[in-house]
A and B are shown apart, each in its own frame.
Chain A
Amino acid sequence: MLEQSSQVKWPFNEGSANLARAVAGLAAGNAVFPAATDTAVLSSAEMLPVLPALAGLLPGGGLGRGSVVAVEQPGLLGLALLAEASAAGGWCGVAGVPDLGVVAAAGMRAEASRLMLVPEPGPNWAQVVASMLEACEVVLVRPPEPPSAPVRRRLEGVLRRGGGVLIAAGAWDGAPVRLRVTQRSWAGIGDGYGRLRGCRAEVVAEGRGAAARPRRQWLWLPGPDGSVTVDETAAARSAAPAWATGGVDPQAGAALAQLTPALAGVAQ
């Protein structure tokens, strides 16, 4: 335990990774130290936790510290990526997303009180993101313009030093992992009746290195209660289900029967 802790710098200004490593090292070596503090939950030195449904898509089963994860849009997928880290006690920052659906994030167990929002970071957004990365484990950013190579390099340097994770919405050349939704279809809504209950979405992860081989996963994004889970039924179905092109999911027919007939009547 002593050698472990002697390697660890006192983490006042060193960012969260060292803190988490210090906790991990000490907790592993000495059971006296409580492992149940907020940060200790994030004790895995190299990975931040993600929702179990997303673990299969990411190399290593989590968000690699110091790395960039690119998503097409900051929508539900971006929020889902940071939800579990937030639920585990981490701080999450969101920059450049004035239309963030905080309630949706909270529905995936993200803790709203540990969110730091900068809706309009302005032209100096890279500096803002760098500052946020010093405080937050995960930062979701939608850059106002496609980031230039020097800006990307600078932020990647900040990431490597601090050990945070940057979720970049939009183009980010050279991101080790890129996630995108290829198809989605909503269940529970018909032609004038029902309501949006859940969305089956196929998420594809591509990238470099460990993520070079594309991985696909059908997810409930979101499920009926706002959570994100693996769509178990998709594996049993054929590769391209008929409903996936849009329209009403026939499997949701049972659910439709429960829906309010009065509203459907009004609509007609």
Chain B
Amino acid sequence: MSPGRPARILAVWCPDWPEETADRQDARAFEPVVAAVTGFCPVVEVVRPGLCVLNARGPARYFGGEEALASKIVAAVAARGVGGHVGVADGQFAAALAARAAAPDHAAMVVPLGGTRAFLAPYPVHILAAPAPAGLTSSWLALAGQLVRLGIRTVGDFAALPSRDVASRFGAAGSAAQRIARGAEGRRPATGTVPADLSVSMEFDPPVPAEPVVFAAKNLADQLLAGLAARGLSCVRIRVEVTPAPDPARFGSAAPDRAAPDRTTARLWRHDGLLSALAIAQRVRWQLDGTQASAGQEGQGDREADGTTAAEGGIARLRLVPDQLIRAEGQQLALWGDDLVRDRVERAAVRLQAMLGHESVTHPMLAGGRGPGDRVVLVPFGDVREARRPAGRPWPAGIPPPAPATVYPAPIPARVIDASGAPVTVSGRAVVSASPDALAVEAGGAGGAGRTGGTSGAGPWLAITAWAGPWPVTERWWDSGQASRRARFQLVTGDGIGWLAAVEQSRWQIEARYD
């Protein structure tokens, strides 16, 4: 469209929707109107529920002129049982105003090409605050207030001001408002529609236990995926809402629906266009298992009296809602390579996480640090985290390589004695009391065959054949919660095993094992 030709915009305004209380429900209800208008032009911008605009130039040529198009749209909207008015003008703001001006006497009003400035001229200047961009309404209102105080009361007066003076006095916002006042609004309607309600749900009457619900979930998921596919959409996540049956013993049978609070449990599951209907049904099962387990635990105390649980009450409703609709671009699996492998690994990880819990399946991230345990951060699979202590920085007084093959998550208490049997101590000046002679590691973590159960006690005495240290480390002394002051040793026992030991406050601990 050339700059010289003003946009011809057609606005459909329905007075049934109040301007202030637009919400999603209104958007859904407005959908039939949009659908009717879409029959004339596929590109319809819904400004808000109750008002939509389209570019009139093309459809007007096809339907035999703007008046004809306007009356056809009014008839089509009326056929849906909604009262609507149509205005056509140069620019969206003027068109919406024309639609309002048409009501209630006429169904449609067409401002002729180039007549928009004259049409707008008698309106009070305050009306210019209405087309302000989102968030700027107050500043445009202030602009209108200034104009009124300057004696410019109508849009026509404002339009007549020299545009250079308006720009220098009121800036960009003033210029934009004046362009609108002159009927030269630059903005074109944006494409896109209010997304239809693609959620699917199923009521169970009478309520059913979990197993049939999972069965039904497969069908529901099929419907959901078909609905998405028909629109060429995919979704990032799926929200599964499970509504248990109202508890008749608790709420009485008179008005269970009214009295029962909403006990729907909803959980979001990652989808990314990857899940099959079966996989969605599986997630429904996981969610049911999870909610029943928690309901059983929580409800034990107060439900013992009536002897029922949520699981026994059954499930009354299952709803699958696609969350974050995106355009489906297809999932092209890589031919051979990292993507396919990664995908396979992620599926296995998700399965394991469903079995054991999210935190139980991890992948390690190398980090920086002095202690052996500081150098690895275990991140739950699927999470992305930044290392708080990045690797690759110098960590003076760190443990020199080679790294130990066994690093205990929590240090294991130990005892170290010298040749006379007295405990070996390290003074504040890092002086060892005597040469360490024998090491006893508390059983449970360092036994020969790994974990030997929950029993803890002193293990056998192992002769120390070589040792080195102490290497004092004082870390995070500025933070009383994390401060540590310890002296590390490396010990070798008679069986050839190396130990990384630390003394902190005269207590020996084994931090890691070289085996």
Contact = CB atoms under 8 A, between A and B. Distances in A.
Contact of A131 (B352, B372, B467): B352
Size category of the A interface is 35 or more
- Tell me the dominant secondary structure on chain B's binding face: mixed
A22 B336 contact: yes
Nearest to B494: A246
Interface stretch (A110-118, A209-217, A233-241): A110-118
Interface stretch (B127-135, B180-188, B354-362): B354-362
A28 interface: no
Contact of B355 (A38, A128, A201): A128
Interface of A: 11-12, 16, 19, 22-23, 33, 37-40, 73-76, 79, 91, 98-104, 106-107, 112-113, 115-122, 124, 127-128, 131-132, 134-136, 142, 144, 169-170, 181, 183-186, 189-199, 201, 222-226, 246-248, 263, 266-267
Interface stretch (B310-318, B375-383, B475-483): B375-383
B162 interface: no
Nearest to A118: B361
Contacts of B378: 117, 119
Contact of A101 (B336, B340, B471, B512): B512
A195 B469 CA distance: 8
Interface in B373-418: 375-376, 378, 381, 400-409
A100 B381 CA distance: 17
Q: Which 6 A-B pairs have the closest CB atoms?
A: A135-B348, A184-B496, A76-B405, A75-B515, A103-B403, A222-B402
A267 B470 contact: yes
Interface in B425-468: 430-432, 435, 445, 448-451, 465-468
B441 to A, nearest CB: 13
A55 to B, nearest CB: 20
9 contacts: A75-B405, A112-B364, A117-B362, A117-B378, A198-B402, A199-B514, A225-B401, A263-B468, A267-B470
B20 interface: no
Given A38-B338, A144-B451, A183-B496, A121 B356 contact: yes
Given A40-B336, A117-B361, A131-B355, A73 B515 contact: yes
A91 B341 contact: yes
B337 interface: yes
Interface of B: 333, 336-338, 340-341, 344-345, 347-349, 351-352, 355-356, 360-366, 372, 375-376, 378, 381, 400-409, 430-432, 435, 445, 448-451, 465-471, 490, 492, 494-498, 512-515
A11 B365 CA distance: 29
A102 B467 contact: no
A127 to B, nearest CB: 7
Given A73-B449, A101-B372, A115-B364, A247 B465 contact: yes
Nearest to B497: A184
A131 B360 CA distance: 14
A22 B340 CA distance: 13
Nearest to B342: A91
Contacts of A225: 401-402
Contacts of B470: 266-267
A104 B403 contact: yes
B356 A118 contact: yes
Contacts of A119: 360, 362, 378, 409
Contacts of B490: 189, 195-196
Nearest to A136: B345
Nearest to B490: A196
A184 B405 CA distance: 14
